[in-house]
Structure 1
Amino acid sequence: MVPYVDELAARARSLARADGAARPVIGIAGPPGAGKSTLAEAVVAALDGLAALVPMDGFHLADAELRRLGRTDRKGAPDTFDAYGYGALLARVRAPRPGETVYAPCFERELEQPVAGALPVSAGVSVVITEGNYLLLDEEPWSSVVRPQLDEVWWVAVDDAVRIERLIARHVRFGKSPSAARAWVLRSDEANARQVASGRERADLVVDVD
């Protein structure tokens, strides 16, 4: 069960604007494996049609581009995302044209690839929830392109040992051997976790899911 989901949904609902002003976008940030997706999905479900989810992971660079850049061994690092494209999409969902459905990409874990146009954000949506590791990263272009598009950012806090075991299990579930999964988590995912750790201090709210 996701803790505090009713309170978080009420907080999100309170940000919705009835005057036709920009649609609020709430970010959910935290290190890899913290439970951002689970929390975001629970809040969207609790809002019962008023919200849509637009994950940052849809802006992963494709593997072909990572090979060109020589970055396949660090897939998931900040520079392996299209941060400018993500910021532009958030700007669109904040201020859509009348009647417009905005289509966002998703990340298909079975393929380990982004899929364009997979997530509709309809004109009737009052709040957009987005989640990802780097929403509070104090580095360019994230700090100037992504953070200004977010009305609030909530940080998901969880015990590191629990988080690491979740990550290993996830990688195994999607095809890695247990030893390869552990090696990837401790080398790549944990490097990303250390990089985003200071974001907790910049969050508007800390949600402790322990």
Structure 2
Amino acid sequence: MSAPLTIAIDGPSGSGKSSVSRAVARALGVGFLDTGAMYRALTWWCLERDIDLTDADAVAAAARDLPLTVGTDPDAPTVSVDGTDISQAIRTTRVSTSVSAVATNLQVRAELQQRQRDLMAQIAQETGGVVAEGRDITTVVAPDASVRVLLTASEEARLRRRSTELHGSTDAAAVEATRDQVVRRDRDDSTVSTFTEAAPGVVLVDTSDLDFDQSVAAVLAVVTAETSA
């Protein structure tokens, strides 16, 4: 009996890794895990409980106690904390501008990375495979994944995509309003995570000049090539 298919997808903000990963999971009929949502969920939880995000020990304690449930259906991924669905709340500007303070906490990373490994194994067993996306997923969380992909794109392309997603526009004002969430977060996260260069064994897919369908097709082609080798 063959082992479940595990696919790890990393990349900078706006590279398309979340939407592409969901589409790849859907096409393959396997489960999906958004590991970045876990950091956002912890950020929301800390903000709701007035935990000082600069207090590394307090945030790490919150991570260990976080009552988190993550839905794994690529068509309807959900995130709940203590029974409250926060799928939309974790995408607000309030959380987006604060999440780096949580995601760069090394104690938090260690805790959530282990949860991610456990979830990947559980999802793969339940659905026959898993597509997991997020920081460190190809190198730290799942270096032994069946397929490892680094999705990348030019800064211009990433800003344009995230601006469209958040503001429905790519005019100059919308792009500038988006810059902090893309460029600053990548800069902050790069202090604890490597996601701009493909590690050995990780396949680089540049989506700068690809539309969504082409990006999905490119990753599926990598999956086919890697699993048939």
When the two structures are superposed, what TM-score results if normalisation uses the length of structure 1? 0.57
Gaps of 5+ in 2: 56-94, 210-229
For 2:104, the equivalent position in structure 1 comes to 79
- 2:128 pairs, out of 126, 129, 137, with 126
Answer 1 or 2: which has greater helix percent. Answer: 2
* Cα separation, partners in 2 of 1:200 and 1:122, compared to 1, 3 Å: closer
What is the alpha-carbon distance in structure 2 between the residues aligned to residue 189 and residue 198 of structure 1? 9
* Cα separation, partners in 2 of 1:148 and 1:190, compared to 1, 3 Å: closer
Deviation (angstroms), 1:52: 0.8
1:191-202 to 2 correspondences below 5 Å: 191-192=188-189, 196-202=194-200
Is the 1:27–1:154 Cα contact (8 Å) retained in structure 2? Answer: yes
What is the alpha-carbon distance in structure 2 between the residues aligned to residue 127 and residue 134 of structure 1? 19
Gaps of 5+ in 1: 1-17, 97-101, 103-120, 138-142
Alignment partner of 1:161 is 2:159: no
What is the alpha-carbon distance in structure 2 between the residues aligned to residue 88 and residue 186 of structure 1? 27
Is the 2:43–2:98 Cα contact (8 Å) retained in structure 1? Answer: no
For 2:5, the equivalent position in structure 1 comes to 24
- 1:59 pairs, out of 18, 27, 38, with 38
1:1-210 to 2 correspondences below 5 Å: 18-19=1-2, 21=3, 23-47=4-28, 49=29, 51-60=30-39, 61-65=42-46, 67-70=51-54, 73-76=97-100, 78-79=103-104, 82-94=109-121, 96=122, 123=126, 125-136=127-138, 143=140, 146-148=141-143, 150-172=145-167, 178=174, 179-192=176-189, 196-209=194-207, 210=209
Deviation (angstroms), 1:41: 1.8
Is the 2:10–2:195 Cα contact (8 Å) retained in structure 1? Answer: no
When the two structures are superposed, what TM-score results if normalisation uses the length of structure 2? 0.53
What is the alpha-carbon distance in structure 1 between the residues aligned to residue 120 and residue 138 of structure 2? 19
Residues 156-202 of structure 1, C-alpha deviations (whole Å, 9 max, x = no match): 122221112222333435xxx83543344343344436853444233
Residues 21-76 of structure 1, C-alpha deviations (whole Å, 9 max, x = no match): 5x3321011111101112212212221x3x11111123112334265223875414
* Cα separation, partners in 2 of 1:168 and 1:148, compared to 1, 3 Å: same
Overall identity of the aligned pairs, in %: 22
* Cα separation, partners in 2 of 1:126 and 1:64, compared to 1, 3 Å: closer
Answer 1 or 2: which has greater strand percent. Answer: 1
Deviation (angstroms), 1:147: 3.1
